[in-house]
DNA sequence: GTGACAAGCTGTAACGTTTCAGTATATTGG
DNA sequence: CCAATATACTGAAACGTTACAGCTTGTCAC
């Protein structure tokens, strides 16, 4: 009827809003809002018209407006430990997540926490302030307080690594049991019989998986374990190196290593060489890596690749799926390790 | 959505708002709002009282409310190339930024763009949608359209690396001229006289700096350059490796390399060894690195450290400073390279 | 006693969005 | 012709915050 609000409408040079669209189309803001989301009670022609104009003038909904009204933030938070995260993990997982949310309205915020803090702190902050619609966490524990907390509050999340609490939630994990077992079998196949394991950080779920795969395969192939559990991949390069050198100077030294991370592997190799031994002759090492660098380091190294970018994508897909109403139980994935790969000289 | 409980006037079990505080203190929301920001027209006692209650019940301003009303997002965006960024750069710079914004209301969002896109795209998006109060960009060019664009729109930003457009803006940079020059001097001091440079990506500002430092020092010490400009650190490991092997098989091969990135250095060393030559005997390599790994790789490597975490902190400080009203010209910093460091065996 | 003024507080409006509760018109059935 | 119903649209209110323009008091000069 009286759409003639008249000339008093601001010739806003700023960003177009629903009001702008309403003015341009001669409709009410409500109609415009509904037309843009394909509501059925808007006429087909009107709908097309509004959407056309919106596209033409490059309308983008104001995030603050939506967020204030609906509580939806359109934000996914990636929670990271500032000291202990594997370097390539950070980079790759961010890109993996980015890939997936690229054509969605979602933004990715990085929420860091430091060694000194309770890992629950950043989660509490996110939940209490309602800063994200979904959360991705790493360094998952069998009984993870963060997962429990978010499950209680009903906030969608996905974990990198599994929990073991009898609770169901989305996750993505690399099959570290299979990795460790395969590594042992490979070493055994090369005649190695006394194996040491450079474990993941104690307390994380995949520590257990890795250890189990390792020991199960050991007994399967009839090899034995050389205890090496005073360090993990969380320890410093220097600590791992020293400990390796130490164990390699004993006469009951290992003739094979399985290492859960590339950086630790560098330290192990350095330690081996500190003890005057030679990789490939006195000892073999199978290592996980997330970028193709270990073969450049020492061509004798045996590697298994873990794709963190894929992990990021899967985790993002899971969280978005949960936000979108899918069953958490259907948003779990496990990535199987490839073969142990040895170096082939390009020629 | 479902309506919550009917009796929701001020007994709201949800997050406290200004209204909650107003009710609890018996004041108006305006007064509460002003009291929380230490406005002078609020009585000292009232101010203290309000702040006490706010702290007690854990009041946190609603970001969407603030953002809608004021346009302030309290967001810093870090814009990254998903394909070409150095891996440790991503991880370290994020942590550096995080450190600085940890006790501010700011959140960090990561805005990625891919190879195929115009680098200006993500910037345009951020500016047009008003998604951030400040932006950090890397891979800076002498004449950088992104910096120009943001300068025109008056949006605070900082660049990792300098521009050369006669325009003033905050930046943080590593002195790559000094690095390259020092590397050349060091190699010359070891008797190396035919040097090759593994350059930064052509087109980026620090490519020029590095090349200049390299050539200036060459003539200073009277050494000569072996052209190696068909690859840069942006090229794949395989490409750099092949090209290195190629050049090392010629009889006028270099006896020294200066490398601008650790990953490229791995490739160079592999190429050297492909050609049947030995690092430290036939050729020496000085490389930049951002994490302490190269010495583990080959102890003969000579390294100069670049601290990306520091860069992240500086960049964050700069952007926040500009947002806070400081002079852009006062927010520039240059990080000087340390000495070239050779490996010392721990014993 | 009056007017001026400051101190301290308050209500209203607005930011852009979605939801609720309509309204106006056309269509149908009887 | 009337009522019932469906279709297509609309204004007002609300989310939480801040800015603006007020409103009370009390004090002080004269």
Q: Produce one character per residue of B267-306: b if its CB has 16 or more CB atoms within 10 Å, e if not.
A: bbbbbbbbbebebeeebbbbbbbbbebbbbbbebbbbbbb
In degrees and rounded to multiples of 5, residue B225 shows phi and psi of -100, 135
Rounded distance in angstroms from the CA atom of residue A42 to the C1' atom of nucleotide D3: 26
d(CA B208, CA B124): 27
Q: Is-contact B271 B244, C-beta < 8 A?
A: yes
d(CA B268, CA B270): 5
Residues of B in contact with A99 (CB under 8 A): 82
DSSP code for B267: H
d(CA A60, CA A251): 70
- Please give the pLDDT value at position B14: 82
Sites in chain A below the pLDDT cut of 50: 1-12, 346-347
- Please give the pLDDT value at position B345: 55
Residues of A in contact with B91 (CB under 8 A): 85, 87-88, 90-91
- Those residues with Cβ within 8 angstroms of residue B123's Cβ, 6 or more apart along the chain or in another chain: B79, B135, B137, B146, B149, B150
d(CA B66, CA A44): 37
H or E element: which one contains A225? Answer: strand A224-225
Residue of B58, B88, B110 with shortest CB distance to A87: B88
A19 touches strand C (CB under 7 A): yes
State the CB neighbour count (10 A cutoff) for residue A109.
Answer: 20
- Please give the pLDDT value at position B110: 98
Residues of B in contact with A68 (CB under 8 A): 62, 64-65, 68
Sites in chain B below the pLDDT cut of 70: 1-13, 344-347
Nearest CA in chain B to A262: B293
User: Residue A296 and residue B128: Cβ atoms within 8 Å?
Assistant: no
State the CB neighbour count (10 A cutoff) for residue B191.
Answer: 10
Closest chain A C-alpha to B312 CA, distance in angstroms: 13
B30 touches strand C (CB under 7 A): yes
B34 touches strand C (CB under 7 A): yes
Residue of A80, A95, A241 with shortest CB distance to B82: A95
Residue B75 CB-density burial (10 A; 0-12 exposed, 13-18 middle, 19+ buried): buried
């Amino acid at each position: 009827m009286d759409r003639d609000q008249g000339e008093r409408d601001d010739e806003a040079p700023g960003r177009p809003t629903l009001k702008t669209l309403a003015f341009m189309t001669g409709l009410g803001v409500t109609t415009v809002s509904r037309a843009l989301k394909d509501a059925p009670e808007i006429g087909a022609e009107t709908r097309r018209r509004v959407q056309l104009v919106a596209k033409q003038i490059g309308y983008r909904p104001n995030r603050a407006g939506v967020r204030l009204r609906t509580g939806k933030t359109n934000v996914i938070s990636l929670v990271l430990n500032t000291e202990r995260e594997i370097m390539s993990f950070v980079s790759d997982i961010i890109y993996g997540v980015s890939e997936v949310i690229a054509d969605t309205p979602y933004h990715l915020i990085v929420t860091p926490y430091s060694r000194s803090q309770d890992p629950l702190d950043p989660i509490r902050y996110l939940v209490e302030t309602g800063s994200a619609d979904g959360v991705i966490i790493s360094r998952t524990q069998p009984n993870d307080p963060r997962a429990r907390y978010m499950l209680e509050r009903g906030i969608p999340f996905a974990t990198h690594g599994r929990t073991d609490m009898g609770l169901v939630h989305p996750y993505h994990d690399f099959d570290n049991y299979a990795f460790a077992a395969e590594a042992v079998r490979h070493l055994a196949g090369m005649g190695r019989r006394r194996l040491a394991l450079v474990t993941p950080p104690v307390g994380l779920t995949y520590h257990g998986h890795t250890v189990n795969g390792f020991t199960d395969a050991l007994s399967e192939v009839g090899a034995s374990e050389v205890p090496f559990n005073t360090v993990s991949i969380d320890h410093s390069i220097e600590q791992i190196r020293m400990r390796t050198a130490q164990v390699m100077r004993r006469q009951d030294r290992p003739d094979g290593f399985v290492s859960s991370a590339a950086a630790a592997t560098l330290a192990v190799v350095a330690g081996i060489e500190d003890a005057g031994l030679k990789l490939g002759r006195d000892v073999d090492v199978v290592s996980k890596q997330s970028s193709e660098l270990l073969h450049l380091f020492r061509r004798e190294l045996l590697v298994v690749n873990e794709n963190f970018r894929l992990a990021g994508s899967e985790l993002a897909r899971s969280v978005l799926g949960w936000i979108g109403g899918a069953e958490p139980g259907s948003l779990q994935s496990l990535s199987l390790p490839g073969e142990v790969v040895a170096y082939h000289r390009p020629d």
